[in-house]
Chains A and B, each alone.
Chain A
Amino acid sequence: GENVEQHPSTLSVQEGDSAVIKCTYSDSASNYFPWYKQELGKRPQLIIDIRSNVGEKKDQRIAVTLNKTAKHFSLHITETQPEDSAVYFCAATLWGNEKLTFGTGTRLTIIP
């Protein structure tokens, strides 16, 4: 089955700097890669996703890149703000499979 590795487990960045979180997946058939943000005590919130037919997707300050050959994908947050502090989870699945396989999470702390 699919296995997703996520790094780093914790990340601290100065406000205004960029943050990058990386994930690798094992199943080359996987073709859908969402990212979730989970603030303390709240639900995982879908913030961006990418399908395997594109290499990059942007939404304002966040972007996701996908390298199918290397089987890794990354979340990029630019101009970080204190409200970006949260735990971020990557996930992978094969469309139609429905089961999301999650990474272990990255605790991002933005230092004012």
Chain B
Amino acid sequence: EPEVTQTPSHQVTQMGQEVILRCVPISNHLYFYWYRQILGQKVEFLVSFYNNEISEKSEIFDDQFSVERPDGSNFTLKIRSTKLEDSAMYFCASGAVADTQYFGPGTRLTVL
């Protein structure tokens, strides 16, 4: 059964540095998402992406964040200048339809 994959599984970075989190969605899916989960808190929506553009973003997804689908398989989340409060588990998800979403294993981002 195909699954969403994410790399790296754990990323440690210094405050102010740029990070890129990578995702490979399920191959025939058209909808792509990023969520994050701060330790001990609920999963929070960041952004959705469809037809090569952002379709919705949350208030968390400010100018420091960007997403890109650079080729037919990858979907990336970039954080330009990381802050301590960006430390969280970041989940990529994809779906063939607009609501049913399948999650990747996550990238744990630690900002020091």
Contact = CB atoms under 8 A, between A and B. Distances in A.
A104 B37 CA distance: 10
Nearest to A98: B48
Contacts of B48: 98-99
Given A103-B42, A104-B42, A98 B103 contact: no
Interface in A1-42: 32, 34, 36, 42
Given A42-B105, A104-B42, A98 B99 contact: yes
Interface stretch (B12-20, B50-58, B66-74): B50-58
Contacts of A95: 98-99
Contacts of B43: 44, 89, 91, 100, 102
A99 B103 CA distance: 13
Contacts, number: 60
A97 B58 CA distance: 12
B100 A34 contact: yes
A81 interface: no
A33 to B, nearest CB: 10
Given A98-B48, A98-B55, A99-B56, A46 B100 contact: yes
A100 to B, nearest CB: 6
Nearest to B58: A99
Interface string B10-50: 00000000000000000000010101000001111100101
Interface of A: 32, 34, 36, 42-46, 49, 89, 91, 93, 95-105
Interface of B: 3-4, 31, 33, 35, 41-45, 48, 50, 55-56, 58, 91, 98-106
